[in-house]
Amino acid sequence: MDLAELADKAIHILRRGKGYLDHGSDGIIYTVTEEVVLKLHTGSHHGSPKRSAQYESELGVELYKKKVQVPQYLGLFGPAPLSHRENWGVFMQRINGLELSSLSTVLHLEAHRQYQEQRSLIEKLGYEVGDGKNMYTNTLFDPRQKKLFLFDLVRWKRL
Ligand SMILES: Nc1ncnc2c1ncn2[C@@H]1O[C@H](COP(=O)(O)OP(=O)(O)O)[C@@H](O)[C@H]1O
Ligand SMILES: [Mg+2]
């Protein structure tokens, strides 16, 4: 599905009030397809939701290319013809993962190992993660791929 098709589908879903998956302080995540979610930006960390969406999208593409374990970022959404809600966001790969606190001991150890590895890589590449040193925040572990994902790049910085 290309970006225009994803945007049409997302608008349809949002207008019907469907697809809600989760949210945090900067955005709301909606399921668009089996493989794709939309993060609609609500926060103004970068001045406006539009700028947050642009920032996260840019950084996401950059980090994914550099093999950091972030979801694949697929492109910007917006401005969308939606009333009464934020209308900028970013499409990304949907992660089928578990929160780290719910993992078995063995998987938890593996998640921790990958977290440390990712933190070193991120630092080496010249970025700083936005949420301190807490591996339980903004992470999911896919037990099938045995792979940790880090996401929510709004507050990450290029050093
Ligand atoms: N690509 C994704 N696939 C599946 N779930 C996701 C994805 N991105 C975010 N989520 C879920 O949605 C929650 C909120 O997303 P997040 O990007 O952290 O928003 P916020 O910036 O508001 O904190 C996350 O904690 C996570 O559980
Ligand atoms: Mg978050």
Atom of ligand 1 nearest to the CA of 22: 12
| Contacts of 123 by beta carbon, 8 Å cutoff, 6+ apart | none
Task: Give yes or no: residues 125 and 151 share one domain.
Answer: yes
* Longest Cα–Cα distance in the chain: 47
Atom of ligand 1 nearest to the CA of 137: 25
Task: Give yes or no: residues 81 and 106 share one domain.
Answer: no
- Cβ < 6 A, ligand 1 pocket: 21-27, 29, 37, 39, 71, 92-95, 138, 151-152, 154
State how many domains the chain has: 2
Task: Give yes or no: residues 63 and 125 share one domain.
Answer: no
Range of the domain at 37: 3-93
Task: Give the model confidence (pLDDT) of 81-127 as tens digits.
Answer: 887 677 999 999 999 999 999 999 999 999 999 999 999 999 999 99
Task: Give the model confidence (pLDDT) of 33-89 as tens digits.
Answer: 999 999 999 998 999 999 999 999 999 999 999 999 999 999 999 999 887 677 999
- The CATH number covering residue 70 comes to 3.30.200.20
- Tell me how far apart the alpha carbons of residues 144 and 52 are, in angstroms, rounded to a whole number: 31
Task: Give yes or no: residues 11 and 89 share one domain.
Answer: yes
Q: What is the pTM of this model?
A: 0.96
